[in-house]
Amino acid sequence: MKNFKIKAPLFILIILCFLGCKSTTQWKGQEPIKKVSTQTVPIQRQYKGVFDLGDGIFMSNDYSGARMNGVARTNDSLLSVLITPENLPINPSPWYGFKIWSETEKDQYVKLTYNEDAFHRYFPKLSKNGSTWEALDSLRYTSVKKIFNERELAESITMKLSLSKDTLWISAQELITSSEVDGWTNKKLMTNSFVTKSTIGESNQGRPINLLKIGESNDQKMIMVISRQHPPEVTGFLAMQAFIETISGETDLAKRFRAVYNTYVVPLVNPDGADNGHWRHNYGGVDLNRDWESFNQPETRAIRDFMREKVTETGGKFYFGVDFHSTWEDIFYTISPELKGNMPGLVPKVISGLEDEFPGYKPNIRPSPGTGTKINSTAFFFFEFGAESFTYEVGDNTPLEFVRKKGEVTALKLMEQLLK
């Protein structure tokens, strides 16, 4: 079979070099994860409503995915918005989202402030309809900087917004709640006869944990895909979409793959967090990607029980597992290559395939120590089922065209390797 080649325009090649040229010093990634308590703890609930700020200006956080914990008029020209997390301690990834409109056309300054241990992370996205988004013009954006872990970050930002009677949506990233995820699965995937959807459990608030099955095999060979354990990590979700749409495509490779392997997907592991505008945790106040050993939360238990029951019922194997996330920069967190699962060498071959397809791109790979501790999903997939696995991290600001292309090519390279 001919290799799939990306015919990238020049600006994509420039982006690739910025993200990972061989001469660039690569980010070292996060510190090794540590075991923490995942017992349910209280969270802060937002007071939701429409707020009259005077001078004909109104703001609202009364919708799914919103995050605005307080708002006040500082002076005639400035509104101050407070953004606080669902609970503490927490990874400093402040999600924010609100609507604003005015009875008359005017420019209005809006300042975002955070609790003292946090900082501004996500560059504002604007929308006029809640579905089509674009970044705020950088000329309408100022910040007060501070140093956090050797990075220069903003402790607050001020936006200059052009208001009118038409609602303006402001969000940390594109707004993708449980309803948007359902819309994507129904429109893009469920129209195929080889795709089925089921519910394998419920979240703390009773939202369904939905599972997609993609394929027509006998479940002797399976792969597992999950996304959105952490609500703000939208770029990782977009990469997962491209990955799954490629596996569900009409290419000869995808058809042959679906005849041999069934792909199981939980596209939104943390629906409560996404719909409540959380920074990181579920409604139990827990980082779900630290609950893959204790299983104190219903979301992780649902996936664990499904995978165990599937293997017991069919006698089949999970050959691969991937968990899509977002972080500062593109990076792959892998299992130590010295450890052997159901298909040794699979992950290095898939990732090296990306390097072959994108000239000038050097994937950033950080293997885990391989202790056997099942704290996060990647370790659980490997040490529980022998599934070759990695955590697929996408940069917060990685250009969306590259996010999608890399998701597509990852799926192609994976299918090629699993069918060999």
Among candidate residues 225, 150, 223, the one with its CA nearest the CA of residue 185? 225
d(CA 171, CA 99): 9
- In this structure, what DSSP letter does residue 64 have? T
Three-state DSSP string of 18-32: HHHCCCCCCCCCCCC
DSSP assignment of 111-129 equals EEEE-TT--B-SPPEEESS
CA dihedral 301, 306, 308, 314 (to 10 degrees): 180
Adjacent-strand bridge partners of 322: 225, 390
Amino acid identity of residue 263, one-letter, is T
Pairing of strands 134-135, 125-127: antiparallel
Buried b (16+ CB within 10 A) or exposed e, 352-367: ebbeebbebbbbbbbb
Catalytic-residue membership of 393: yes
Residues counted in the chain? 420
Instruction: Name the 3-class secondary structure at 130.
Output: coil
Residue 240 class from Cβ within 10 Å (0-12 exposed, 13-18 middle, 19+ buried)?
A: buried
Find the Cα–Cα–Cα–Cα dihedral 44, 50, 51, 55, rounded to 10°.
160
DSSP conformation class of 136: P
Of 180, 357, 388, 393, which is the active-site residue? 393
Looking at residue 187, the DSSP 8-state letter turns out to be I
What is the DSSP-derived secondary structure letter of residue 288?
G
Q: Across the strands, what pairs with 146? A: 153
Q: Computed over its alpha carbons, how large is the radius of gyration of the chain?
A: 22
**287, two tokens:** 């980082």
Closest Cα partner for 411 from 180, 181, 196, 239?
Answer: 239
**Distance separating alpha carbons of residues 374 and 383, to the nearest angstrom:** 7
Active site residues: 393
